[in-house]
Amino acid sequence: MKKGIVTIVVLAVIALGLFSWGKNAYNSLVKGEEGVEAAWAQVENVYQRRADLIPNLVATVKGYAEHESSTLQAVIEARAKATQTKIDPANLSAEEIAKFQAAQGELSQALGRLLVTVEQYPDLKANQNFLELQAQLEGTENRITVERQKFNETAQAYNTQVRTFPQNIIASLFDFEKKGYFKAAEGAETAPKVEF
């Protein structure tokens, strides 16, 4: 009888230990996933800040550069496409992030063309409103870079957790999946050629 009680106690302690480990592993994965989703929300926040600055920038440029309607229209269309590209935070796969990044890249290129066009209008370059908007846009681009880096770091920590034994057992049981990363744009590894 004593042997049976000891066996039951040992099995209960083992079961309690396994339950405690499983609960801690699961909760840790939930915290990691929530961290990734919070970092993603911040990435979207700074991209939205950029999108909110664009109408003011376009309106300011339009007053000075009426002949640049195709450039202005390209910026407006790229902004519309970029703001329509949304990702469900629960599905932050590499493919979805690449689509989001492509739409944002098109907007960046359109803005770049707009800012090059501005060089032809000295009055616009001296306009205080334009200078402030340009400074805010530059600051926002820096924020985007910082938030993308934070997102990648958070996603890396979470992905490591999902793949590390023995937590990978709990992750596979409860469908915790790896998250995608922001990657450098195509051709970014090649330095631009500067000629004078």
Given a cut of 60, whether residue 196 has pLDDT beyond it is no
Domains of the chain (ranges; CATH) run 2-173 (1.20.1440.20)
23-29 contacts, C-beta under 8 A, 24 or more apart: 25/166, 25/167, 25/169, 25/170, 26/170, 26/174, 28/161, 28/167, 29/158, 29/161, 29/162, 29/167, 29/170, 29/171, 29/174, 29/176
Given a cut of 50, whether residue 192 has pLDDT beyond it is no
144-163 pLDDT, tens digit each = 999 999 999 999 999 999 99
Of the candidates 24, 2, 68, 6, which has an alpha carbon nearest to the alpha carbon of residue 166?
24
Given a cut of 60, whether residue 134 has pLDDT beyond it is yes
If one compares 193 and 60, the residue with the highest pLDDT of the two is: 60
Taking residues 94-111, what's their average pLDDT? 90
If one compares 128 and 161, the residue with the highest pLDDT of the two is: 161
Eight-state DSSP code of residue 184: P
Taking residues 107-114, what's their average pLDDT? 88
Q: Whose structure tokens read 């370059």? A: 125
Span of 67-71, 119-123, 145-149, 186-190 with lowest mean pLDDT:
186-190
5-28 pLDDT, tens digit each = 888 989 999 999 999 999 999 999
Pairwise CA distance, residues 102 & 114, whole Å: 18
| Cut 0.85: pTM above it | no
- pLDDT at position 185: 67
Helix (H, G, I), strand (E, B) or coil at 47: helix
- pLDDT at position 194: 39
If one compares 191 and 32, the residue with the highest pLDDT of the two is: 32
